[in-house]
Chain A
Amino acid sequence: MTAEEIREEVLDILENIAPDEDLTNMDDSVNFREQLELDSMDFLDIVMELRKRHRIQIPEDDYLNLASMDSTVTYLTPILKDVEKAK
């Protein structure tokens, strides 16, 4: 997947986690925690969704990388580069 596809995928996951949230004006550089008021349970969900969708394991020490959209995409790009975008 390309960085742009990964971004789409993460948006889709966030939509799934916070269905009542409007994500159209998301600022990619701002922490999810502040922007969407996600808590630790929600972060676990991002990790679990990635595992469910792409069979990737993210070690607990790496959760920090999922702080904002920018950092998440940067972190996932090498990991998902050989993965086909699901449709």
Chain B
Amino acid sequence: MYDTIIIGAGMSGLAAGIRLAYYDQRVCILERHTTIGGLNSFYRLRGRDYDVGLHALTNFTPKGTKKGPLARLLRQLKIPWDELQISPQLGSEVVFPGVRLRFDNDIDLLRSEIASEFPEQAENFDRLIEAIVEYDDLDQSHQEISARERVAEFINEPLLLEMLFCPLMFYGSAREHDMDWGQFSIMFRSIFLEGLGRPHAGVRLILKQLVRKFRGLGGELKLRAGVKKIVVENGQTTGVILENGEYLAGRRVLSSAGWHETMRLCDDGQPVTPRSSGRLTFCETIASLDIEPQELGHRSTITFFNDSDTFHWTVPSEPCDVRSGVICSPNNFDYAADSEKIGGTMRITALANFDYWQGLDEDTYRLEKLRWYDFITESAVRFVPDYRNRVLDTDMFTPTTIVRFTGHDSGAIYGAPEKQLDGRTHLPNLFVCGTDQGFVGIIGSILSGISMANQHCLRDY
């Protein structure tokens, strides 16, 4: 009998597992896939290492910082800052026609960029920052007001407003067109006020540290162990049945499979609370180059681009929306001088239409991937140096890749627009964590796992 059974060995499940195992619970993490990581895993293809998602970690704060999500997370998992070896970004940018706003991990750069591009908005921007600093993320009463309306109270230049929303939506909005003010504030802090960073070895370093820690504390991790059913008896869960038929008994279950996905696993015939599932998903192209991007004159860490004055954050009618995107070069972080060279890499993320990709037969799918790889790249090189004649190898994934590896409905990267902030379900001993609980991104989902473990699985056992 386990004290806690955790569904999913992504960031949130692993983090929750560490907390519980540290306090001597018998805990087992069940992962359907053959490897760990979920939405942010890693793989090797034709002799090259790839990260599935990782562009950058948000919430980067330097060593010694006591406040903020990164410091809190390291303390809770008892991981020393040095072990993650996160290096700060060189500097990123938001590019719209005729305007380029650079930013880095010091908000003063963005401030001065805004002061020179939009002089009459400089003071307004300062007042917006004040409001965001004051926003209390534990007070959920303002959580759901429209961020567009709230930000427009400060910023009355529509182009600047779009340019501020673009990066924040790309890195964390499950909602189309708009964000909640709460989520906007959290994302603004985590990207503009804290900042971006990356471990030199990529996401594998983070995942390996998490697993080593979990196992070292006596936690059990089972791969190829998909949960088929969450068993419900007399109004509570008693454990799970795996796809191979095995039954595992548990006093409680914590699931990172997603809200709908978790509800479907319950075999109690209860109707699932109607709630729209997330529809925003991505295609991503990855190009390995024979040269470092900086040698081509590209120093930006992340370039968020949009080719008109209005930014559209919605499911595209086309297979991919190439009007906007995120271009990331993992080379452009301030790594330690003695660190091994990373092969030149350019990654581009674009919004995609799940239904389109899902509906293709295998041959068409392969052809469409090639075609859209070209369209996405062609669009991106309008904003960064053209690297197309320096490409050694490429890879690309689509919304169906995400479904295959994570089981999230529609390949929804940031989950359902409506979050289950308290992590509770209709059963008293079944809880959700991860993307659909509230926080998104790598740092967000790790914190989600930690806080759900603390709130629901530690206190009463």
Contact = CB atoms under 8 A, between A and B. Distances in A.
Nearest to A19: B80
B67 A37 contact: yes
A20 B82 CA distance: 10
Contacts of B454: 41, 44
B23 A52 contact: yes
Nearest to A16: B78
A17 B79 CA distance: 10
Contacts of A37: 66-67
A18 interface: yes
Contacts of B400: none
Tell which of B72, B75, B80, B458 has the most Cβ of chain A within 10 Å: B75
Contacts of B23: 48, 51-52
Interface string A32-67: 000011010110110010011000000010000000
A41 B451 contact: yes
Tell which of A18, A45, A51 has the most Cβ of chain B within 10 Å: A45
Contacts of A16: 78
A36 B24 CA distance: 26
B6 interface: no
B86 interface: no
Nearest to B454: A44
B80 A45 contact: no
B131 to A, nearest CB: 22
A36 B80 contact: no
Assign chain A's interface to a size class.
10 to 19
B458 A41 contact: no
A41 B76 contact: yes
B81 interface: yes
Contacts of B81: 20
A52 B80 CA distance: 21
Given A18-B75, A45-B76, A52 B24 contact: yes
B67 A17 contact: no
Nearest to A36: B66
A20 B67 contact: no
A48 B25 CA distance: 12
B224 interface: no
Interface in B52-105: 63-64, 66-67, 72, 75-76, 78, 80-81
A41 B76 CA distance: 8
B78 A19 contact: yes
Nearest to B73: A41
Interface residues of B, number: 17
B458 A17 contact: no
Contact of A20 (B72, B76, B80, B459): B80
Interface string A1-40: 0000000000000001111110000000000000011010
A21 to B, nearest CB: 8
Contact of A44 (B64, B66, B458): B458
Contact of B63 (A20, A36, A45): A20
A20 B64 contact: yes
Tell which of B66, B67, B72, B80 has the most Cβ of chain A within 10 Å: B66
Nearest to A44: B454
Contacts of A41: 72, 75-76, 450-451, 454
A86 to B, nearest CB: 15
A76 to B, nearest CB: 19
Nearest to B450: A41
B333 to A, nearest CB: 22
Contact of A39 (B63, B64, B72, B80): B72
A37 B64 CA distance: 12
Contacts of A45: 76
Given A19-B80, A20-B63, A48 B458 contact: yes
Contacts of B78: 16, 19
Interface string B443-461: 0000000110010001100
B435 to A, nearest CB: 20
A55 to B, nearest CB: 11
A39 B451 CA distance: 12
A52 B16 CA distance: 18
A20 to B, nearest CB: 6
Contacts of A44: 454, 458-459
A37 B458 CA distance: 22
Tell which of A41, A48, A51 has the most Cβ of chain B within 10 Å: A41
Contacts of B63: 20
Interface of B: 23-24, 63-64, 66-67, 72, 75-76, 78, 80-81, 450-451, 454, 458-459
26 contacts: A16-B78, A18-B75, A19-B75, A19-B78, A19-B80, A20-B63, A20-B64, A20-B80, A20-B81, A21-B66, A36-B66, A37-B66, A39-B72, A41-B72, A41-B75, A41-B451, A41-B454, A42-B75, A44-B454, A44-B458, A44-B459, A45-B76, A48-B23, A48-B458, A51-B23, A52-B24
Given A37-B66, A41-B451, A48-B458, 10 more contacts: A16-B78, A18-B75, A20-B63, A20-B81, A41-B76, A41-B450, A42-B75, A44-B458, A44-B459, A52-B23
